[in-house]
Structure 1
């Protein structure tokens, strides 16, 4: 209820949550080990694990939802099974596989210096994830006031569609982190800048393609998630506003990751919170008072524009300070 559920949706939330939380035991170590596989120089295997996990999820979800008539709980069961597969696969790789690192109990020791380094680097993505959950809370409550449960459903569809095009950008951000960090540490600032530039150009290209696709075929995208006429109408109106600044998000994401990669923890934390918290929260609380539900849809694109400008200024200042 605290996150915006109503009497009509609480049953579905409870059914899903009761199962998906059990998967945390497999999801967290599996996700962590998958990242280590990529970091030790085997990104293809890490990618294959995630791709196979996603494909398996696409197969299992309909089987449990419709085949076993489990409804929303079936979707959670399918997801948890996929998380378990990735965890076991990653664990096997680090114990019996051809990994450079080996997972052994005797090697698990607490080292304060290593922990400190991990915490410093992890603070930025941690804050981003925390902010994301907090934003969902606020957004759902505002949507409930101005549009009810249907508006929350519409926002879920809209954000999912946008995420389809944003996921490759997150992939780019993960791929360029090591390159930027390595070259920055070697004082090859021109290479770090080039890696960021290529990443941003790629991200803008992908997200621009996404924006054009969404504007040309909004109904086709939304119909993937719902056939309800009222929900479709709300989502069509919302997606035409919400997605307008999609290309700008690439600069926001990759600019923040750049500062994380070079060890500027304070800057990266502030910039990571900029788009989703510092700028977005005041906008989503104020703009809907004047424009109603359209104001809710518009809050995120406005936050994207403001954040892109600020992050761009930070990057410009950073590059001026580097002796290229």
Structure 2
């Protein structure tokens, strides 16, 4: 095995984490940027901009579910490929890559058929009105045709990052972002296609990114190559990958359900202003969590490779670096939000009433953000070390066991029910992080003990 294949197990962990995390954080921010630019273009369509933007907004829960299916395969397959690389079993690692590639293609075909046949009904169930359904349906029909590109871009890029090629992974996102930003005005305005033009620009951009990914993985510069004889479905190889990917799948797919529950409860107690403030809160939370997720994704190849190599001290050291950086970031961001919440709220609205409401809502909703770095570090390490059961448990506990019921329970326990809805988030986070930390402390220690015994 060439020395360059072993750098995940030999370079200093701190230096390696910086090398891998910075490009993954940049990729997350670039991805968010071009999504925002996309919506800005749509919102400025002459005459129908507001309705078009609302219609595309209704598509977002459906798009999140499509992305969740990519995570189901890639977020489990990529860490398991890294673990096998650490073991020196590159044959199995390439079998995982080829099997996940084929499985994503098959899932893409099924999702495309479902979206084309039942997309309009799904959009109506997610809140499209008579005024916005045509815009939403027009966007989704074209987007559905590019589902395979979305799946392959998100899924295969994870295998690039999992090998330590973080900069190549960042370029995948950057290529798609630049293409989308350039093509949007051409199709939307010059060609007069409106929301269909925005969807077409997205499909073409994702297609270019997908080609970039597949070409790199099939080329000679990668450690794991996508080979024709490895593109097969083997249950023994793929089922553990799917099991490990269930945690990220639950986290992403449940966001649409959580959003509906939050909005319905807020509409009941606070009206449109409360719902608008929640949109600001969730946007701030999503944007704030991107660097944290990028840092965790940068640590994943290091943890997985060294876990496979049975290097317990290095796995422990990687977790400590990840935990320290994640907590420092989450505490710093929490302090900033608590001190100047208006700096975030004013990014999304200039309405004085909404801005004043959003300031208080942000302080409550993000009240436990300072400990969320612990949750991310523990959950990613569960995934990185192949612990599917624990990764699923912590995801389900936080989202379904705690947050969903608390959205409806907490408002009845406080004097102002509308603030109780926002309070459900930090209450759920405090309990979930405590549970995760206790579970992680027990399982991680035992996992490292087993590694030390196997050396």
Q: Same fold (TM over 0.5)?
A: yes
TM-score (norm 2): 0.63
Structure 2 CA distance for aligned equivalents of residues 244 and 9 of structure 1? 35
Query: Which residue in 2 is equivalent to 1:261?
Result: 384
Match of 2:427 among 285, 302, 313: 302
Match of 1:215 among 332, 338, 341: 338
Structure 2 vs 1, CA of residues 225 and 261 (structure 1 numbering), >3 Å: closer, same or farther? same
Structure 2 vs 1, CA of residues 45 and 275 (structure 1 numbering), >3 Å: closer, same or farther? same
Query: Which residue in 1 is equivalent to 2:396?
Result: 273
After superposition, the CA RMSD in angstroms is 3.0
Structure 2 CA distance for aligned equivalents of residues 65 and 209 of structure 1? 40
Structure 1 CA distance for aligned equivalents of residues 164 and 229 of structure 2? 24
Secondary structure of the residue aligned to 1:191 is helix
Secondary structure of the residue aligned to 1:244 is coil
Query: Which residue in 1 is equivalent to 2:306?
Result: 183
Query: Which residue in 2 is equivalent to 1:99?
Result: 222
Q: CA deviation at 1:152?
A: 3.0
Q: Which digits, 9 at most, give the CA deviation of each residue in 1:187-220, with x for residues without a partner? A: 4333222211211111112222222332343333
Structure 1 CA distance for aligned equivalents of residues 379 and 219 of structure 2? 37
Unaligned 5+ runs, structure 2 = 1-123
Structure 2 vs 1, CA of residues 35 and 190 (structure 1 numbering), >3 Å: closer, same or farther? same
Higher deviation after alignment, 109-118 or 56-65:
56-65
Query: Which residue in 1 is equivalent to 2:282?
Result: 159
Higher deviation after alignment, 140-149 or 120-129:
140-149
Structure 2 vs 1, CA of residues 20 and 180 (structure 1 numbering), >3 Å: closer, same or farther? same
- For the 8 Å contact 1:131–1:273, the answer to whether it is kept is no
Structure 2 vs 1, CA of residues 252 and 64 (structure 1 numbering), >3 Å: closer, same or farther? farther
Q: Which digits, 9 at most, give the CA deviation of each residue in 1:76-126, with x for residues without a partner? A: 454444322311221332346733444454542222221123222222222
Higher relative contact order (CA 8 A, sep 6+): 2
Query: Which residue in 2 is equivalent to 1:87?
Result: 210
TM-score (norm 1): 0.85
How many residues are paired up?
Answer: 324
Structure 1 CA distance for aligned equivalents of residues 364 and 296 of structure 2? 26
- For the 8 Å contact 2:410–2:424, the answer to whether it is kept is yes
Q: CA deviation at 1:75?
A: 5.2
Equivalences for residues 11-22 of structure 1 within 5 A = 13-14=136-137, 16-22=139-145
